[in-house]
Amino acid sequence: MELPPEFQIIDQYFKKLSCPEALDLTDDAAIVSLNQNEEIVLTMDAMSEGVHFFKNDPADLIARKLLRCNISDIAAMGAKPYGYLLALSLPDQYFNHQWMNLFTKGLAHDQKKYGLSLFGGDTTKNLNNMTLSVTMLGKVRKGQAIRRNTAKPTDGIWVTGTIGDAAMGLLALDGKISTNQYFIDRYHIPQPRIELSLNQIASAAMDISDGLVQDLSHLTRESRVDAVIYTNSIPLSNEAKKFQKDYFQTYITGGDDYELIFTIPVNKENKALEESKRVGIKLTKIGYCIEYNNGQIHILDEYDNEIKLGKLGWSHI
């Protein structure tokens, strides 16, 4: 399958600047050896006003989403968060006690929750928009990071939690559906699945930021498998079930989920379900991998008819 434009730019211009640790700029994070037993996982996610969040969103929620999007990439690699660097580029109006105090309260709240600390950063003025950027470090036992490119035909395809709630939150905040606090909370406060330890269970993993189908297409392309997924199996919240028919494409292409999508060999499914029980995170099998034919994803409805989508997910360009 063809790369979305954003990823064509990365592939064409930035890949040639990268080192082996960068994994060809095709994964959620880079992996750098720390010592004999550990590796450092490195990722960076930026957020801009009007693109990732709303200018008037409460500062503590902006801060928490910023950390959580990055933590989600660490979780996608099967690593645990260690610390982060923070770059702020803000218009004048945000450099005041009220905004800074609330923003740093949000950071402090999630630092505590996820056992993180701040290593450093940079603060600049921005003449136009607010842009916030985090570089996050995680740690993982050597050789245990979970890559995107290691799924095999017959492996099951699984997701954590429920899909599509945050995309509905965005519609609610945009006034396109009536206001719904559950969806809005799912948009503002992602739940990175860091507690889940799938290191010796999953054959490949990534997080869903751009939309389930598009992100799965990265996993299939990199792993050189195709995928079959069933619309009926995609886990929806009780709220989302109320809207299902009209908004199904939004659920699977809207993004902002920060759930994990991963593959498991069939003989390890029981182990995965034990881990799910241990941490209290729901895992759902939505399909399976088949032999490679261009990394295609076949989406089958309840009658086994294949659904074709206009767009697979979010691309910035």
Ligand X SMILES: Nc1ncnc2c1ncn2[C@@H]1O[C@H](COP(=O)(O)OP(=O)(O)OP(=O)(O)O)[C@@H](O)[C@H]1O
Q: Which residues are annotated as part of the binding site for ATP?
A: 121-122, 148, 209
Torsion angle defined by CA atoms of residues 123, 108, 66 and 236, in that order, rounded to the nearest 10 degrees: -170
Which CB atom, from 21 or from 239, has the smaller least distance to ligand X? 21
Site membership for ligand X, residue 25 (CB under 6 A) = yes
Least distance to ligand X, CB of residue 29, Å: 7
Sole window of 25-33, 220-228, 235-243, 294-302 interacting with ligand X (rule: CB under 6 A): 25-33
Site membership for ligand TPS, residue 51 (CB under 6 A) = yes
**3-state secondary structure (DSSP) of residue 125:** strand
Sheet containing 131-141, strands listed edge to edge, beginning at the edge strand earlier in sequence: 30-33, 38-48, 131-141, 80-90, 117-125
22: which 2 tokens? 């960068």
Site membership for ligand X, residue 209 (CB under 6 A) = yes
Question: Which does residue 10 touch among Mg ion, ligand X, ligand TPS, none (CB within 5 to 8 A, set by kind)?
Answer: ligand X
Query: Which one among 39, 49, 207, 275 touches ligand X, defined by CB under 6 A?
Result: 207
161: which 2 tokens? 């939690």
Question: What whole-number distance in Å separates Cα of residue 312 and Cα of residue 252?
Answer: 8
Sole window of 28-36, 45-53, 91-99, 229-237 interacting with ligand TPS (rule: CB under 6 A): 45-53
User: What residue spans of the chain are helical by DSSP H?
Assistant: 5-9, 59-76, 97-114, 165-173, 181-188, 212-223, 238-241, 244-253, 269-279
Q: Which residue in this structure is represented by tokens 């035909």?
A: 153
What x/- string results for residues 69 through 98 when contact with ligand X is judged by CB under 6 A? Answer: ----x-------------------------
Least distance to Mg ion, CB of residue 17, Å: 20
Q: Confirm if 304 and 216 have CB atoms less than 8 A apart.
A: no
What x/- string results for residues 20 through 59 when contact with Mg ion is judged by CB under 5 A? Answer: --------x-------------------------------
Biggest alpha carbon distance in the chain? Answer: 58
What x/- string results for residues 184 through 213 when contact with ligand TPS is judged by CB under 6 A? Answer: -------------------------xx---
Least distance to ligand TPS, CB of residue 170, Å: 5
Least distance to ligand X, CB of residue 48, Å: 13
**Long-range interactions of 270-278: CB distance < 8 A, separation 24+:** 271/200, 271/201, 272/158, 272/198, 272/201, 272/202, 275/196, 275/197, 275/198, 275/201, 276/196
Sole window of 23-31, 127-135, 180-188, 281-289 interacting with ligand X (rule: CB under 6 A): 23-31
